[in-house]
Amino acid sequence: MQLTISERVPLVIVAFLVALALLVLGAAAAPGAGAQTYKDVGKHYWAYSSIKWVTNRGPAGNKLLDDFGSKFKPDQPLTREQLARTLVIALGMQDETVKPVALPDMPPSDPYYWFVQIALARGLVSATNDGFHPDQPVLEWQADRAVVRLLKRLNPKNDWNMLTALDPSKWEPNKGWKTGAPGYLPWEVAARQLGLRYDHPADKLELFPTEAMPRGEMAYTLRAALNLSTWQIGSLSSFDKVTLPPLSARQKQVIAFALDYVGYPYVWGGEWDGKDSPYGWQAHGGFDCSGFVWWVLKIHFKYPISVNERGASNMAQSAKPRISRKKLLPGDIIFFGPHGPSSAWNTIYHAAIYVGNGWFIQSTGSSDGVSLASLDWPGYWKTYFAWGRRVLKKSEL
């Protein structure tokens, strides 16, 4: 799927469409006895409130995320035609008239036909020479991209430069050096910064970026996205210019490898990219904070971090000397504690990999997985940074 912003629509029309879309989304049925219920979504289902929200939003007869009568099928993968429909309704375009294009795999009798035609005409999705592939599952990163692009359309005055700035085909954190990160990097960084992903207590429900997006997950993501404030969306501007200090060959290798895992889920006790960790079975591939550090620096690059140092506090205890904020170098392990640099080693609760100029890569439950953050942001990370630990050799720096 490819979604593009039309540069030919006059600004006044864009503003009108945005206002209309917000009005449509705001015209929700009031929760209560008349609210839609589903046989396969009980009140204890993890996405119950999100499913209730998306199926009570939208114009009459057109729920923001459609259902199947008495069932919602929350664990069924979201399909391309369902995504097209959701985007059209979210933007208030469902009554538009467009000239249809030939789609060999979508006859006019298909109930999604006109939603797909509108989505194609307005650049919300794309087709290929052999059709639209309406029943093809939408992958997690594709769903995240679609929702971030939806937000961009609904909030055109916000700063969205990070989507281009972190595009791996263009981003050079050192002049002349591209990281080779997955193409979905900016979309996954944005989705996690905006809180669009859910950190499942049951880790078996977590997703890789390349796994199919369940409909229940999409309900959660839509609800989270469409309730964001302008200032929350504005936080994306922090990623407009991510540059790093001059890096050695080894530092580039470490950073490039770590970036490959942006978008991987947070898994408690996780230290492997799959279920079959030799250190203990995981419900899903993914990492907790120290597990991500372990995976990159211990498992892949073979730095001498012992099994007894698997947890963040034990890793921090072995930092000799402790590296201060001003002396950090790319590739260092960094730690966070309740009293910042004055924290006792056994109170350290978070670890990450420093990449330079304040930036670090981490796996955290608050963003449901691996993403970027900065020690220079005011607030939490800046306040609770404790110290660093150097594992790279002097000759590698």
**CA dist., res. 100 & res. 120, Å (int):** 9
Cα–Cα dist 256/55, whole Å: 41
Token representation of residue 284: 């899903």
CA angle 362, 78, 144 (to 5 degrees): 30
State yes or no: pLDDT of 12 exceeds 60: no
Q: Please check the confidence at residue 137 and state whether its pLDDT lies above 60.
A: yes
Average pLDDT over residues 250-255: 98
pLDDT in tens, 13-26: 334 444 444 444 54
| Average pLDDT across the chain, whole number | 91
> Can you tell me the distance from the alpha carbon of 95 to that of 264, in angstroms, rounded to the nearest whole number?
38
Complete DSSP assignment for 152-169: HHH-TTS--THHHHT-TT
Architecture of domain 244-396: Alpha-Beta Complex (3.90)
The single-letter code of the amino acid at 351 is A
For 36, the token pair is 């839609």
% pLDDT > 70, the chain: 91
Q: How do residues 65-123 score in pLDDT, each as one tens digit?
A: 999 999 999 999 999 999 999 999 999 999 999 999 999 999 999 999 999 999 999 99
Q: What average pLDDT does the segment 327-347 reach?
A: 98
Longest dimension (CA), the chain: 70
Domain with CATH 3.90.1720.10 in the chain: 244-396
pLDDT for the residue numbered 62: 86
User: Given strand 333-336, what is the order of strands in its sheet?
Assistant: 369-374, 359-364, 350-356, 333-336, 385-389
